[in-house]
């Protein structure tokens, strides 16, 4: 029977011939073995080479920028004055001429108290004066003729003066039965009702003076030195009105509980649209200052917990720079404490320590994004508590 050569036989013979030829050359290299060509270096040698290499970090040279800041104050509106108009004499309230919501001017009649026996007292006092006057005149004639002593004339004069004073007192008490407005304002509660028995000092009506209208807010002790009396400011009322006001008062002492200072801003309210006790906010434009804008990711903590950034000195050594956060902006954070021209590490600061030598590489991406542009910061929230 004839032997038939198959294709697989041919392949097997070719592989065998190739292996035999390779072995005939006598060259054999075991990969990964030390001392051979292409062999990997030992781990210890590789780690030593890696530790001796200088670590590369990205840096940006910092320059101060003009920082335009706004101070946000939250508070409420308050009438310039609330005056309680009180009775100066006692009696029953006969009628109240005004009602809640009425606007009055100085001198306008508000309440009328029952006159009672005051008119009778006036008639009686006038009669006493007439008698004292007649007595004085009669004695004056007698003194002139020498029939009476000078001392009796002085006594009559005193009686007449006392009667005149009594009349003035009765007239004044009679005038006090009409209670009039001492200032301009709008009638509000509490008010007395007709028929109420009033005594001297009892409330007749309450007047509220809403022009100017005040904005009352609190400013923290950190920011109080940045504002001053007379400074213009914008005020937005929650009801939709926008007003330009002027700081009229800054408290000289802080609230012991909140450590904030009371600030009052006067606003024109001649149209009467602003109401007392409405929530409002004020934005005070502060003087521009120089500061540095950084990204929050550049911040780090020192071993002692101090907040700052890492930079590189002229000898390429890492240094820790403490910073003070001033405020937050839309595209970064405003800080102080960095010297102009300092190279700040923007990438890689987590892997280096102070005193370590690094290879600084300019951070071109940081120079092309918004960090470094002059933009206004977000308004700072200073004591939003309303009191």
How much is the pLDDT for 253?
94
* 293 in the same domain as 378: yes
Within a domain: 279: no
Range of the domain at 325: 56-69+289-382
- Using the predicted structure, report yes or no on whether residue 375 has a pLDDT greater than 50: no
Residue 242 confidence class, pLDDT cut points 50, 70, 90: very high
* 365 in the same domain as 299: yes
Residue 381 confidence class, pLDDT cut points 50, 70, 90: very low
Within a domain: 135: yes
- Number of separate domains in the chain: 2
Question: What's the mean per-residue pLDDT of the chain?
Answer: 82
Within a domain: 103: no
Within a domain: 296: yes
Within a domain: 211: no
Instruction: Show the tokens assigned to 117.
Output: 């026996």
CA pair distance 372, 217, nearest whole angstrom: 34
- The neighbour count for residue 95, using CB atoms within 10 Å, is 11
Within a domain: 139: yes
Q: Residue 353 burial (CB < 10 Å; 0-12/13-18/19+)?
A: exposed
- Would you say the C-alpha torsion 313, 315, 318, 320 has a positive or negative sign? negative
The tens digit of pLDDT for each residue in 39-63 reads 556 666 655 555 567 889 999 999 9
Mean pLDDT, rounded, for 297-301 = 91
Angle at 160 between CA 156 and CA 163, to 5 degrees: 140
Within a domain: 79: no
Mean pLDDT, rounded, for 123-133 = 83
Residue 171: which CATH number? 1.10.287
Q: Among 149, 176, 203, identify where a domain stops.
A: 176
Within a domain: 339: yes
Q: What is the 3-state secondary structure (H, E, C) of 99-117?
A: CCCCEECCCCEEEEECCCC
* 62 in the same domain as 142: no
Residue 329: which CATH number? 2.40.420.20
In the block, residue with structure tokens 């933009």:
375
How much is the pLDDT for 185?
87
Tell me if residue 315 falls in helix, strand or coil. coil
The tens digit of pLDDT for each residue in 85-109 reads 899 888 888 889 899 888 888 989 9
Mean pLDDT, rounded, for 187-202 = 89
How much is the pLDDT for 272?
83
Instruction: Show the tokens assigned to 298.
Output: 């550049």
Q: Among 176, 210, 228, identify where a domain stops.
A: 176
- Using the predicted structure, report yes or no on whether residue 384 has a pLDDT greater than 60: no
- Would you say the C-alpha torsion 95, 99, 100, 104 has a positive or negative sign? negative
pTM given for the model: 0.56
- Using the predicted structure, report yes or no on whether residue 368 has a pLDDT greater than 80: no
Q: Among 176, 196, 216, identify where a domain stops.
A: 176
Least confident of 38-42, 169-173, 185-189, 353-357: 38-42
Residue 317 is given by DSSP the state B
């Amino acid at each position: 029977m004839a032997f038939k050569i198959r294709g697989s036989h041919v392949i097997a013979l070719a592989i065998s011939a190739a292996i035999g030829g390779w072995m005939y050359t006598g060259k054999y290299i075991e990969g990964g073995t030390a001392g051979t060509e292409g062999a990997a270096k030992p781990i210890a040698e590789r780690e030593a080479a890696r530790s001796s290499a200088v670590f590369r970090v990205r840096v940006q040279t910092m320059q101060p920028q003009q920082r335009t800041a706004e101070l946000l104050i939250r508070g409420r509106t308050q009438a310039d004055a609330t005056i309680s108009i009180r009775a100066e004499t006692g009696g029953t309230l006969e009628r109240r001429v005004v009602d809640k919501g009425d606007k009055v001017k100085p001198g306008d009649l508000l309440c009328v108290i029952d006159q009672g026996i005051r008119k009778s007292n006036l008639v009686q006092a006038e009669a006493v004066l007439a008698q004292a006057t007649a007595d004085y005149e009669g004695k004056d004639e007698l003194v002139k003729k020498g029939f009476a002593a000078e001392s009796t004339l002085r006594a009559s004069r005193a009686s007449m003066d006392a009667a005149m004073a009594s009349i003035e007192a009765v007239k004044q008490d009679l005038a006090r039965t009409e209670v009039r407005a001492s200032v301009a304002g709008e009638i509000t509660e509490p008010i007395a009702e007709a028929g109420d028995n009033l005594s001297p000092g009892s409330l007749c009506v309450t007047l509220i003076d809403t022009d100017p209208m005040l904005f009352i807010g609190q400013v923290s002790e950190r920011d109080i030195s940045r504002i001053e009396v007379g400074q213009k400011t914008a005020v937005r009322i929650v009801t939709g009105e926008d007003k330009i006001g002027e700081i009229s008062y800054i408290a000289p002492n802080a609230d012991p509980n909140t450590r904030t200072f009371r600030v009052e801003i006067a606003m024109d309210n001649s149209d009467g649209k602003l109401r007392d006790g409405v929530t409002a906010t004020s934005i005070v434009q502060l003087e521009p200052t120089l500061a540095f804008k950084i990204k929050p990711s550049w911040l780090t903590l020192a071993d002692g917990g101090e907040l700052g950034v890492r930079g590189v000195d002229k000898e390429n050594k890492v240094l820790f720079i403490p910073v003070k956060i001033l405020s937050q902006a839309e595209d970064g954070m405003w800080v102080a404490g960095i010297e102009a021209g300092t190279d700040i590490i923007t990438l890689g600061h987590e892997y280096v320590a102070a005193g370590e030598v690094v290879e600084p590489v300019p951070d071109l991406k940081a120079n092309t994004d918004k960090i470094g542009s002059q933009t206004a910061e977000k308004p700072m929230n200073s004591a939003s508590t309303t009191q």
